[in-house]
């Protein structure tokens, strides 16, 4: 695969987001299937694997650690802290907690290293900025982990350009990870340019719009009851029906480009700027290989302009998050 720079690391131009194997989209796949996907990605040339404390409340890190331990020298390992599950009431019900305090960051890192069965995490993100804690304090704690040799570089997730600059003044920020796809263009407001200015890589999660741009999800009523997409405004039945209408023109452009719909979404990101690395996730080896095929798709400026006109923040119906989820992130928003 082609490569791109991620902080001090040279990685495959397309990474693997490991979340889907353990978290978010209904019942997780079996451990055996998760292992198949991880090893297939490694065999195909993927050298960036992205997980987090939150995913499966530790289960995803455990899976990645078990499967990938013997291949540790072959890839760049990324994980995240500051957003995790806690049994607050003591009744076994796990709830998400955003906590960017230095003590929690240190504890998250200790737990991640144990689950990942490694001595060092290459790229460690603050999963969400805890707005009760100055970003300088959270990044200071991460910088201490760098000094101790527990992590090699620091990343931030879902932050604004302003927050990135404040953090970067404390310690160089290797990467910012935020949702970015044809239907979520918020990074274009400011943070993409800030990353370019500071030499920070932009890692795009949900690059195929949580499956929408694959063209396979035609009926949201089939989503698992625990699928996190169910309450998302764009996936509400009436809104999604409107959004599906955009795919006819989109799929026609993909056919013209000689690629699959998912490949068009990923190739678009790769063409936007050299400091962007998409990290699609999947539970299927077949879909994995389809995603990675985007590395060889060439798009003309004219075709890029056409696809951007079909799917953008003005043609898509519904915001990307609920009001509650929006309050938890620090990203710029379109009016």
CB 136 within 8 A of CB 101: no
User: Angle at Cα 210 formed by Cα 205 and Cα 214, nearest 5°?
Assistant: 110
Q: Would you say residue 271 lies in a domain?
A: yes
Q: Is the pLDDT of residue 92 over 90?
A: no
How many CA atoms are closer than 13 Å to the CA of 287, on its beta-carbon side? Answer: 18
Q: How far is CA 60 from the centre of its chain?
A: 14
Q: Is the pLDDT of residue 101 over 90?
A: yes
| Angle of helix 301-310 versus helix 247-257 axis, rounded to 10 | 160
Q: Would you say residue 333 lies in a domain?
A: no
Q: Would you say residue 334 lies in a domain?
A: no
User: Among all residues, which ones are annotated catalytic?
Assistant: 55
Q: What domain range includes position 58?
A: 3-327
Distance CA 253, CA 177 (A): 28
pLDDT confidence of residue 89:
80
Number of domains the chain contains: 1
In whole angstroms, how large is the CA radius of gyration of the chain? 19
Q: Would you say residue 196 lies in a domain?
A: yes
Q: Sorting pLDDT into bands at 50, 70 and 90, what band is 109? A: very high
Question: Count of residues for the chain?
Answer: 335
- Residues 276-305: tens digit of each pLDDT: 999 999 999 999 999 999 999 999 999 999
Mean pLDDT of 183-204: 98
Q: Sorting pLDDT into bands at 50, 70 and 90, what band is 322? A: very high
Main-chain dihedrals φ then ψ at residue 218, nearest 5 degrees: -105, -15
Tell me what percent of the residues of the chain surpass a pLDDT of 70.
100
* Residue 208's CATH number: 3.20.20.100
- Residues 69-81: tens digit of each pLDDT: 999 999 999 999 9
- Residues 114-143: tens digit of each pLDDT: 999 999 999 999 999 999 999 999 999 999
Q: Would you say residue 249 lies in a domain?
A: yes
- Does residue 296 sit in helix, strand or coil? helix
Q: Would you say residue 262 lies in a domain?
A: yes
Mean pLDDT of 51-56: 97
Mean pLDDT of 166-186: 98
Q: Would you say residue 144 lies in a domain?
A: yes
Mean pLDDT of the chain: 97
Distance CA 85, CA 97 (A): 6
Q: Would you say residue 300 lies in a domain?
A: yes
DSSP3 helix / strand / coil % (the chain, rounded to 5) = 45, 15, 35
């Amino acid at each position: 695969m082609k490569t791109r720079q991620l902080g001090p690391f040279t990685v495959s131009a397309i990474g693997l987001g490991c979340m889907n194997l353990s978290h978010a989209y209904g019942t997780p796949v079996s451990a055996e299937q998760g292992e198949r996907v991880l090893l297939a990605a490694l065999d195909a040339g993927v050298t960036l694997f992205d997980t987090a404390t939150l995913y499966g409340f530790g289960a995803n890190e455990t899976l990645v650690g078990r499967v990938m331990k013997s291949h540790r020298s072959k890839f760049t390992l990324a994980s995240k802290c500051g957003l995790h599950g806690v049994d607050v009431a003591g009744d076994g019900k796990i709830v998400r907690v955003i906590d960017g305090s230095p003590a929690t960051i240190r504890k998250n890192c200790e737990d991640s290293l144990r689950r990942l069965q490694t001595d060092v995490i290459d790229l460690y993100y603050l999963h969400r900025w805890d707005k009760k804690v100055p970003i300088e304090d959270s990044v200071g704690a991460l910088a201490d982990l760098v000094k101790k040799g527990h992590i090699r570089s620091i990343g931030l997730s879902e932050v604004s350009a302003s927050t990135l600059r404040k953090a970067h003044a404390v310690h160089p920020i290797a990467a910012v990870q935020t949702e970015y796809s044809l239907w979520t263009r918020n990074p274009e407001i400011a943070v993409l340019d800030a990353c370019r200015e500071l030499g920070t890589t932009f890692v795009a999660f949900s690059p195929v719009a949580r499956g929408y741009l694959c063209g396979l999800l035609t009926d949201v009523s089939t989503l698992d009851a625990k699928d996190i997409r169910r309450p998302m405004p764009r996936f509400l039945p009436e809104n999604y029906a409107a959004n599906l209408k955009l795919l006819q023109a989109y799929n026609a452009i993909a056919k013209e480009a000689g690629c699959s719909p998912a490949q068009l979404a990923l190739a678009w990101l790769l063409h936007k700027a050299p400091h962007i690395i998409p990290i699609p996730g999947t539970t299927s080896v077949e879909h994995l290989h389809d995603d990675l095929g985007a590395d060889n798709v060439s798009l003309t400026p004219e075709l890029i302009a056409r696809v951007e006109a079909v799917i953008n923040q003005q043609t898509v119906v519904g915001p990307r998050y609920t009001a509650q989820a929006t309050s938890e992130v620090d990203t710029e928003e379109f009016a």
